[in-house]
A and B are shown apart, each in its own frame.
Chain A
Amino acid sequence: MPSLTPLTMSPAIELIDITKRFPGVLANDRISLQIERGEIHALVGENGAGKSTLMKILYGLHQPDAGTIRMAGNPVSLVSPRRAIALGIGMVHQHFKLIPRFTVAENVVLGSEPSRAGRLDMNAARVRLRALCAQYGFVLDPDAEVGTLSVGEQQRVEIVKVLYRGAEVLILDEPTAVLTPQEVDDLFGNLRRLRAEGKTIIFISHILEEVLAIADRITVLRRGRVVGTLPAAGVTKAQIAELMVGRPVLLDLPVPPVSPGAVRLEVQGAVVAGARGRPAVRGVSFAVRSGEIYGIAGVEGNGQTELVEALVGLRPLIAGRLTIMGQDVTHGGPRAIRLLGVGHIPEDRHVRGLVLPMEVRENLILGHHGRPTFCSGLLLNQEGIDAFSDDRIERFDIRTPSVQTPALALSGGNQQKVIVAREFAFAPSVLIAAQPTRGLDIGATEFVRRQVLEARSAGLAVVLVSAMLDEILSLADRIGVIHAGDIVAEFPRGGATPREIGLYMTGGSSSGRARVEGQPA
Chain B
Amino acid sequence: MRLALLQAMTPPLAILFGFVAAAGIILAIGKDPLDVYGMMLRFSLTRVDSIAAILFKATPLIFAGLGVALSFRVNLWNIGVEGQYYVGAFAAAWVGFAIRGLPAAIHLPLAIVAALAAGMLWALVPIVLRLKRGAHEVITTIMMNYIAGALVLYLLADVFRDPAQAGSPRVRTPELLPSARVPLLRPLLEPLGIPIPEHSALNWFLVLGIALCVLASFLLARSRFGYEVRAVAANPAAAEAAGIGLGRVQFLVFLISGAIAGLVGLSDVLGFFGYFDIDFPKGLGFLGISVALLARNNPLGIIPAALLFGFLDRGAQGVQVFAGVPREVITILQAIVILAIVVAYELLTRYVRTQRKREAQRVAAAAPAAMGEAVP
Residues in chain A within 8 A of chain B (CB atoms):
22-26, 46, 48, 223, 245-247, 249, 312, 314, 333-335, 337-339, 344, 346, 351-358, 362, 366-367, 369-370, 374-375, 378-380, 382, 394-397, 399-401, 405-406, 408-411, 414, 421, 424, 443-444, 446-447, 450-451
Contact = CB atoms under 8 A, between A and B. Distances in A.
A23 B363 CA distance: 11
A337 B240 CA distance: 12
Nearest to B365: A25
A405 B361 CA distance: 12
B241 A424 contact: no
A397 B370 contact: yes
B375 interface: yes
B239 interface: yes
B263 to A, nearest CB: 22
B7 interface: no
B353 interface: yes
B227 interface: yes
8 contacts: A25-B362, A223-B369, A245-B371, A334-B240, A337-B243, A380-B222, A409-B357, A447-B374
A400 B363 contact: yes
A367 B362 contact: no
Interface of B: 219, 222-225, 227-228, 230-231, 234-235, 237-245, 353, 356-367, 369-376
A408 B240 contact: no
B224 A369 contact: yes
B179 to A, nearest CB: 33
Nearest to A370: B224
Given A24-B358, A410-B360, A223 B365 contact: yes
Contact of A447 (B219, B243, B353, B372): B372
Contacts of A333: 243
Given A380-B227, A444-B371, A351 B360 contact: no
Contacts of A338: 242-243
A369 B374 contact: no
A25 B234 CA distance: 30
Contact of B234 (A247, A356, A394): A356
Contacts, number: 148
B238 A397 contact: no
Counting chain A CB atoms within 10 Å of each CB, the highest count among B243, B245, B367, B369 belongs to B243
A351 B356 CA distance: 21
A401 B357 CA distance: 10
B367 A399 contact: yes
Contacts of A357: 234
Contacts of B374: 394-397, 447
Nearest to A362: B227
Nearest to A385: B227
Contacts of B358: 22-25
A358 B372 contact: no
A375 B245 contact: no
A442 B62 CA distance: 54
